[in-house]
Amino acid sequence: MPLTDPSPPVRPRKSTSLADALDNPAGVIRLSVVGTPVPLLPEAIRSLADLEVLTLNGNGLEVLPEALFELPKLRVLNLFNNALTELPAGLARLTRLESLTLGDNPLVRLPQDLDHCTGLRELNLANLPHLDFAQAWPVITQLRALEKLSLYQNPIDTVPDTIGQLAQLRVLRLFACRIEHLPASLGKLGRLEELDLRANRLSGFPFVQAAFPVLRRIDLSYNPLANVPADLPLEH
């Protein structure tokens, strides 16, 4: 009996059309839909079993379907600038998730199971004026693998002492908040390479270069600072 030729492998591909990706989902590894009215993702999103990077910026998204959390290979999820007030439980099912962007949404609370996304290395929660940070901080500081945390343009008065638990942080962006004081535990972040604290209410910066041995850039501009250690690599 003659051998039949195996089916050719599916080639990885990128798409900028949701309809196109759903019509032919095999091999779609990147989907970027930006500035297109999509108030609700269809349940068929679960068919994108090869998807690794999903960008849905500025689409007016109001609700996320739980089917989104059935994408087994998803590494990067970018939901910047939508109309999301909450996220359904289920993020922890994205076991390969490394990067999550939720900035510029009217979110009120973070999903409680976010702290189970133990592989998350990058988190963007910028410009979330309605977010309850009393609820959010305990979730954020459980993400011990985080390397990059962006919380800029938020009404943050106080950075909690538990920030020191994020020992893997390399980049911390807290510009244009309302921060008046920094916790001593910030000095535990010995892997910090970039620290952006522009446009806050800091009267001092009680740390020296030795606390951040690999720091390459720190920006303290537009703060009412009385004194700054001279050995810091300040941005000018």
Q: Is 60 left (phi over 0), alpha (psi -120 to 50) or beta?
A: left
Select 162-236's CATH number: 3.40.50.2020, 3.40.1160.10, 3.80.10.10, 3.40.50.1440: 3.80.10.10
Query: What kind of fold does domain 13-146 have according to CATH?
Result: 3.80.10
DSSP state of 68: G
Indicate if 162-236 has the same CATH topology as 13-146.
Answer: yes
- pLDDT tens-digit map of 163-209: 999 999 999 999 999 999 999 999 999 999 999 999 999 999 988 88
Nearest Cα to Cα of residue 41 among 28, 60, 24, 25: 60
Over the stretch 93-107, which tens digit does the pLDDT of each residue have? 999 999 999 999 999
What's the pLDDT at 147? 98
What is the model's pLDDT at position 234? 79
What average pLDDT values come out for the chain (236 residues) when binned by 10 residues?
A: 58 91 96 92 95 97 94 97 93 96 97 92 98 95 97 95 97 97 95 97 89 93 86 73
pTM: 0.92
pLDDT value of residue 42: 93
Query: What was the pLDDT predicted at 208?
Result: 83
Q: Where are the domains of the chain?
A: 13-146, 162-236
The residues, ordered by sequence, that sit 6+ positions from 210 with a Cβ below 8 Å of its Cβ are none
